[in-house]
């Protein structure tokens, strides 16, 4: 059994006020066959989103796969995780488990105390390796090696693991899962009960629930004899075939699937495909599905090529609203444009790139067919691919009552509604018109200068629906990028902001990643980033600047899970304390030097300062980033005379004591840090997740040279000179939200006042 805990307790939400339902009630419910069983797509694998499915019943919850961003999607779509009991993953690679740290933090706060984690080997050692940066005080995750073939069973369903192996990667087994619902007993026939001599009382309930009973006289009454026929048990299957190397193993399991499909005791209602698109369009894969499942079986495909919307609608919503203020600062996400260009129909046809094996297999098959048979076979395959439907977050399949596919709650974009919301706010339209008039000339021409500062994540601890966790992309030159921190979902943020094609270019031009410290919200997206960059085959490895203490985690993952060692070159942040990094290694990034300092947050927490080759007002541009810290004199010295300071501002000003305890900064403290180092501009980021839209700000006079960061905001030094002009319209747009923050602050003050009075008596 493994336990993981977050060392960044400073940024966690308050503990749950309630524990999970009492054990007595849970025990009582555990013997009841649920009347409602639904399968919900949390993530459809599109544009950096995970492929994840949530199965929920009247009393229990199950999660299948947990890639990066699973918790964020659950939060956005109000999917209750407080009763999650079992997690099943098909792989132990980051694609399937990258969201576990964030999810674990969330379900602990919701009161969950025990979760079963089923999957391939090494999940236990992975959790142990995470303990340095993800440690949960109250949540126990019991890992179960499903490659041993032992099925999971409770009162609701049985889950039978099916192991796939590859000759190319014999130590990387992959799992599929066959799930069978326990059939719901038929209605109790009271006439037959009377005839059998069953007295009124609890025995009737036991018979109704499918249990045989013994009467006082010793007669055994069988439930089947006094109830109507039970429903046909439904089965559903999760299949994951990562590559063509696993196809032979899949075909070897054919008999097992055939028996399932032909059984009179169960009906296969659904197959969920986690397999990548090059597999779901492969001739042998298609043939396997057609051979082993009936025409009545529904198929749900969750992969990046078939599906074209990530499901993160809230990010688009706030971006459409902010875009009105300054399109240059807040560009619409490229994902929205790609959605408009895609086929509006749910049935999509995709031209998928074939592998050499695809072509070889098809050529062998075609040589055995006559011309007419060949034409017919090709038409059948094309029809099969065309029938693969696109799915998005909140697509549902109702297993009980058996209503099948339900797309009514699917996540969609409605830009007109987002804009309409803002113009319904009193005074906003007038302030927007005034802003547009004032900035018509200054912001009309796109700024071409560097650096370009692009915020991918501006929240703390765990993602919420509008603020992802820490990540800042710095375009230091025309074809060079560097990252400051790499929280969960960073790669997905890049894909959704830039679009798929431009995101590939950005990933190849990304040359360095800086990790400020080892709390999970600052580096848990690193492995996905490294793997994606590996896939694109860059010419040189990434320069990774991070605390040396990250090495055991990266070495474990490289040794036990997937090779990543050739994807990066590690240089410890501490090595730059005395001697800044300069010369050829950074000049290609458009950087003259990189220096670091220790900051006041946790052990091995650093601030960083870049001196760029680009200039502003005749001086080299100096860019300083605080990472997480409370006010720090060493950071002030490091960032002396910075052109731009990016500083964390986790707490509002009246929470200064809480910020001190948790070693973070308030908004006014961050602004003062900028003044002390004589920075020309200060950008605030890393807001507590209680400030999902806009934090409480000081007076506008204090904000003349201060900008607040939003996810997907991008600015240059030139842009920052005009940012303060946005505040009247911005604060009006979110007036209702900021008023709620003010009311909370008043309540806190009244509560503190009562405490002071009690202390004096």
Is residue 403 assigned to a domain?
no
Is residue 461 assigned to a domain?
yes
* C-beta of residue 401 within 8 angstroms of C-beta of residue 708: no
Residue 351, pLDDT score: 28
Q: What is the pTM for the complete model shown?
A: 0.88
| Same structural domain, 172 and 205 | no
| Same structural domain, 218 and 293 | no
Is residue 363 assigned to a domain?
no
Residue 3, pLDDT score: 41
Is residue 397 assigned to a domain?
no
* Distance (Å, whole) CA 274 – CA 185: 32
Q: Which residues contact 340 (CB under 8 A, 6 or more apart)?
A: none
| Same structural domain, 695 and 643 | yes
* Distance (Å, whole) CA 437 – CA 228: 74
Is residue 220 assigned to a domain?
yes
Using alpha carbons only, give the angle 138, 140, 141 rounded to the nearest 5 degrees: 145
State the helix-helix crossing angle for 356-367 and 283-292, rounded to 10 degrees.
60
| Same structural domain, 194 and 49 | no
| Same structural domain, 434 and 552 | yes
User: For residue range 130-159, what is the model confidence (pLDDT) as tens digits?
Assistant: 988 887 889 999 999 999 999 999 989 999
The last residue of one of the domains, among 301, 323, 354, is 301
Give mean pLDDT, residues 2-28. 43
| Same structural domain, 214 and 140 | no
| Same structural domain, 178 and 111 | yes
The last residue of one of the domains, among 209, 225, 241, is 225
Q: What tokens appear for 458 in the block?
A: 């501006």
- Lowest average pLDDT, out of 510-524, 675-689, 735-749, goes to 735-749
Q: CA-CA-CA-CA torsion for 487, 49, 543, 715, nearest 10 degrees?
A: -70
Is residue 319 assigned to a domain?
no
Q: Which residues pair with 397 in a beta bridge?
A: 39, 405
- pLDDT band at residue 372 using 50, 70 and 90 as cut-offs: low
Residue 133, pLDDT score: 87
Is residue 17 assigned to a domain?
no
Count of other CB atoms within 10 angstroms of residue 405: 14
| Same structural domain, 214 and 96 | no
* Distance (Å, whole) CA 273 – CA 300: 6
CA 644 to chain centre: 30
Q: Which residues pair with 475 in a beta bridge?
A: 452, 481
Q: Which residues pair with 400 in a beta bridge?
A: 37
Residue 350, pLDDT > 50, answer: no
| Same structural domain, 710 and 736 | yes
Of the candidates 11, 136, 9, 49, which has an alpha carbon nearest to the alpha carbon of residue 691?
Answer: 11
Of the candidates 103, 157, 161, which has an alpha carbon nearest to the alpha carbon of residue 130?
Answer: 103
Give mean pLDDT, residues 240-260. 94
The last residue of one of the domains, among 275, 301, 327, is 301
The total number of structural domains in the chain stands at 3
Domain that holds residue 196: 190-225
**CATH number of the domain residue 681 falls in:** 3.60.15.10
Query: Cis ω on the peptide bond leading into residue 746 (within 30° of 0)?
Result: no
Percent with pLDDT over 70 in the chain: 90
Query: How far is CA 500 from each of CA 308, 525, 722, rounded to the nearest angstrom?
Result: 10, 18, 31
Is residue 531 assigned to a domain?
yes
| Same structural domain, 168 and 214 | no
* C-beta of residue 116 within 8 angstroms of C-beta of residue 85: yes
* Distance (Å, whole) CA 731 – CA 219: 76
Give mean pLDDT, residues 387-401. 86
Q: Which residues contact 568 (CB under 8 A, 6 or more apart)?
A: 513, 530, 541, 542, 543, 544, 554
| Same structural domain, 129 and 216 | no
Q: For the chain, state the CA radius of gyration.
A: 29
- Lowest average pLDDT, out of 500-514, 636-650, 686-700, goes to 686-700
Q: Which residues contact 252 (CB under 8 A, 6 or more apart)?
A: none
DSSP classification of residue 413: -
Q: What tokens appear for 236 in the block?
A: 């559903």
Q: Which residues pair with 300 in a beta bridge?
A: 272
Of the candidates 467, 435, 496, 671, which has an alpha carbon nearest to the alpha carbon of residue 11?
Answer: 467
* Distance (Å, whole) CA 174 – CA 581: 43
| Same structural domain, 176 and 289 | yes
Residue 346, pLDDT > 90, answer: no
Residue 134, pLDDT score: 84
Count of other CB atoms within 10 angstroms of residue 426: 8
DSSP H or E run through 251: helix 247-252
């Amino acid at each position: 059994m493994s336990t993981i805990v977050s060392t960044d307790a400073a940024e966690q939400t308050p503990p749950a006020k309630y524990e999970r339902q009492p054990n007595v009630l849970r025990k009582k419910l555990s013997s009841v066959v649920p009347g409602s069983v639904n399968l919900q797509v949390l993530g459809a694998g599109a544009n950096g989103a995970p492929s994840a499915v949530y199965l929920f019943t009247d009393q229990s919850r199950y999660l299948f796969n947990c890639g990066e961003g699973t918790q964020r999607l659950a939060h956005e779509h109000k999917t209750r995780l407080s009763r999650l009991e079992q997690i099943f993953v098909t792989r132990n690679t980051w694609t399937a488990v990258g969201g576990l740290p964030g999810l674990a933090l969330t379900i602990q706060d919701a009161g969950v105390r025990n979760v079963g984690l089923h999957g391939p080997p090494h999940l236990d050692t992975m959790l142990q390796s995470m303990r340095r940066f993800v440690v949960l005080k109250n949540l126990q995750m019991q890992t179960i090696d499903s490659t041993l073939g032992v099925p999971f069973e409770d009162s609701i369903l049985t889950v039978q693991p099916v192991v796939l192996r590859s000759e190319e990667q014999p130590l990387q087994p992959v799992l599929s899962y066959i799930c069978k619902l326990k059939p719901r007993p038929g209605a109790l026939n009271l006439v037959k009960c009377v005839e059998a001599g069953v007295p009124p009382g609890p025995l009737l309930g036991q018979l109704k629930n499918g249990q045989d009973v013994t009467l006082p006289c010793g007669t055994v009454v069988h439930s089947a004899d006094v109830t109507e026929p039970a429903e046909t048990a439904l089965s559903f299957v999760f299949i994951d075939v990562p590559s063509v190397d696993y196809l032979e193993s899949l075909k070897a399991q054919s008999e097992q699937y055939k028996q399932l499909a032909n059984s009179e005791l169960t009906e296969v209602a659904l197959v969920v495909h986690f397999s990548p698109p090059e597999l779901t369009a492969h001739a042998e894969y298609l043939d396997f599905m057609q051979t082993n499942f009936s025409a009545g079986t529904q198929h749900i495909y969750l992969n990046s090529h078939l599906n074209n919307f990530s499901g993160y609608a809230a990010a688009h919503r706030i971006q459409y609203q902010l875009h009105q203020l300054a399109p240059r600062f807040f560009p619409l996400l490229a994902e929205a444009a790609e959605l408009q260009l895609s086929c509006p129909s749910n049935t999509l046809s995709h031209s998928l790139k074939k592998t050499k094996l695809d072509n070889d297999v098809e050529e062998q098959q075609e040589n055995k067919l006559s011309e007419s048979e060949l034409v017919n076979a090709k038409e059948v395959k094309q029809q099969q691919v065309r029938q693969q439907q696109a799915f998005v977050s909140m697509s549902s399949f109702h297993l009980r009552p058996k209503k099948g596919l339900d797309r009514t709650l699917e996540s969609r974009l409605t830009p007109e509604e987002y804009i309409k919301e803002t113009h319904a706010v009193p005074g906003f339209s007038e302030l927007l018109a005034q802003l547009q008039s004032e900035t018509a000339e200054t912001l009309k021409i796109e700024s071409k200068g560097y650096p370009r500062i692009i915020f991918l994540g501006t929240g703390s601890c765990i993602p919420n629906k509008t603020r992802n966790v820490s990540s800042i992309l710095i375009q230091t030159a025309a074809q060079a990028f560097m990252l400051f921190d790499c929280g969960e979902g960073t790669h997905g943020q890049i894909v959704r902001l830039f679009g798929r094609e431009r995101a590939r270019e950005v990933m190849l031009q990304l040359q360095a990643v800086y990790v400020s410290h080892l709390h999970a919200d600052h580096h848990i997206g690193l492995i996905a980033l490294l793997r994606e960059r590996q896939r694109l085959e860059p010419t040189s490895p990434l320069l990774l600047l991070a605390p040396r203490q990250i090495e055991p985690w990266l070495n474990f993952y490289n040794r036990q899970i997937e090779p990543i060692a050739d994807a990066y070159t590690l240089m410890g942040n501490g090595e730059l304390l005395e001697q800044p990094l300069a010369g050829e290694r950074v000049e290609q990034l458009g950087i003259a030097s990189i220096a670091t300092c220790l900051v006041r947050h946790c052990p091995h927490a650093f601030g960083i300062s870049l001196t760029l080759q680009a200039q502003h007002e005749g001086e080299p541009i100096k860019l300083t980033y605080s990472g997480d810290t409370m006010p720090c004199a060493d950071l002030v010295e490091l960032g002396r005379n910075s052109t731009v300071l990016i500083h964390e501002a986790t707490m509002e000003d009246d929470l200064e004591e809480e910020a001190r305890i948790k070693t973070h900064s308030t908004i006014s403290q961050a602004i003062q840090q900028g003044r002390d180092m004589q920075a020309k501009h200060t950008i605030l980021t890393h807001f507590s997740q209680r400030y999902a839209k806009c934090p409480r700000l000081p007076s506008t006079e204090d904000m003349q040279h201060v900008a607040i960061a939003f996810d997907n905001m991008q600015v240059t030094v030139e842009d920052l000179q005009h940012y303060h002009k946005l505040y009247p319209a911005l604060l009006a747009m979110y007036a209702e939200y900021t008023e709620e923050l003010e009311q909370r602050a008043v309540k806190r003050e009244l509560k503190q006042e009562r405490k002071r009075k009690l202390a004096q008596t």
